Amino acid sequence: MPVGNREQRLVSIITVDDVIDILQQETTEDIYTLGGGLQSEGDNYFQMLLEIARNRVVWLLVLLITNTITGTIIKSQEDILAKVVTLTAFIPLLTGTSANVSAQSSTVVISGMNTDEIRSLGAF
């Protein structure tokens, strides 16, 4: 696609490769934003690992404490759980949290592999 200036002179062209590169950059940015909260252009997720961990650590600690409490309750109160079935409503906290963390982790790793930020398992 030709690009012209105000005097209708050709100054550049936009190739299909340019469009594909921009699409890939935008998609990568969207994936990082959804999966981990990176928002500035050109950020490398794996170079900013400590910053991202610090942003998530409070929430992950709350989930860890909640899961620990839930697991302790389930284990120590098996007799009551058999009698009062509504207490089992807390069990999905355990499975839901682990599913959430694993989904975020796999999204980040797959995206890193797709953008060649991770080239092999030895890159960690």
Segments in 1-124 forming alpha helices (H) = 16-35, 49-76, 78-83, 91-114
Residue 80: domain span? 2-123
**Residue 102: which of 73, 60, 61 has the closest Cα?**
60
| CA atoms lying within 13 Å on the CB side of residue 93 | 19
| CA neighbor of 21 nearest in space, from 9, 29, 31 | 29
Q: What pLDDT shows up at residue 123?
A: 45
pLDDT tens digits for the chain (124 residues)? Answer: 888 888 888 888 888 888 898 888 888 777 766 655 555 555 565 666 677 667 677 777 877 887 788 778 778 878 887 887 876 777 787 678 777 877 787 777 777 777 777 765 554 4
Token look-up 């949290």 returns: 97
Residue 35, pLDDT score = 57
**pLDDT recorded at residue 44:** 61
Considering its fold, how many domains does the chain have in total?
1
DSSP reduced 3-state for 3:
strand
